[in-house]
Structure 1
């Protein structure tokens, strides 16, 4: 009932090189500390359901996840987004490249993408 996206990112050397290793700056949505170092990324479940069958219990849960990467400049955000993408892409499928923008208040750059993840039970 919980996708292993954090484990995938935290165990990828390229991702921890960009997002730090102790701790890795990859948080569930709403859990990033107030003064977190940059760049950092957050993720959240935007949809999900078990793979239901007529003859038995589901053996896989499917999740739609959104990943958002933030940082002080475009290059650091692109590098962090690539590292997170590469960490999850062999285990899940990127299904949407989201927008790139800049927050008018914090002036942080931002990139978003979605991932579909099937998690065996």
Structure 2
């Protein structure tokens, strides 16, 4: 199992209005295919652990995700982050805010946030 970030975001009209549908430009492993239209989002698992119990096997895993948005403008990056936070916040916990600036490698505006997502097994 893994956190259902793509499924949740791809089902949101607010997110797909910004990141498209079929395909929705949200990619795992922190990387988007070369030439992907902006804006787009990438995500990766940066931490995780099962909820362990003494008397039974874990029934829930906790995933720590890092989400980064790349866009042509700072306002576009802000719009995508806002839409994603609103929908993800209904299913998981927003735990922090990360990068907010211009990426040296891509020359794109980059804005990020962190999420703790509990996934029942």
Cα displacement (A) at 1:87: 1.6
Shift, 1:30, TM fit: 4.3
2: CA distance, partners of 1:102 / 1:31:
17
Question: In 1, distance between residues paired with 2:31 and 2:93?
Answer: 24
- In the other structure, the counterpart of 1:101 is 101
CA separation of 1:68 and 1:30: change in aligned 2, threshold 3 A? closer
Task: For structure 2, list consecutive stretches of 5 or more residues without a partner in the other structure.
Answer: none
Match of 2:36 in 1: 36
Q: Which residue of 1 aligns with 2:83?
A: 83
Q: What residue ranges of structure 1 are gaps of 5+ in the alignment?
A: none
In the other structure, the counterpart of 2:51 is 51
Compared with structure 1, are the counterparts of its residues 75 and 98 closer, same or farther at alpha carbon in structure 2 (3 Å cutoff)?
same
The normalised TM-score by structure 2 is 0.96
> C-alpha displacement at 1:54, in angstroms?
0.4
CA RMSD of aligned residues (A): 1.0
User: Distance in 2 between the 1:105 and 1:51 partners?
Assistant: 38
DSSP 3-state at the match of 2:17: helix
Rounded to whole Å, the distance in 1 between the matches of 2:12 and 2:22 is 13
Task: Give the length in aligned residue pairs.
Answer: 121
Do structure 1's residue 112 and structure 2's residue 108 form an aligned pair? no
Question: Which 4+ residue blocks in structure 1 deviate beyond 3 angstroms?
Answer: none
- 1:23 matched to which residue of 2? 23
Q: What is the CA–CA distance in structure 2 between the aligned matches of 1:109 and 1:23, rounded to whole Å?
A: 22
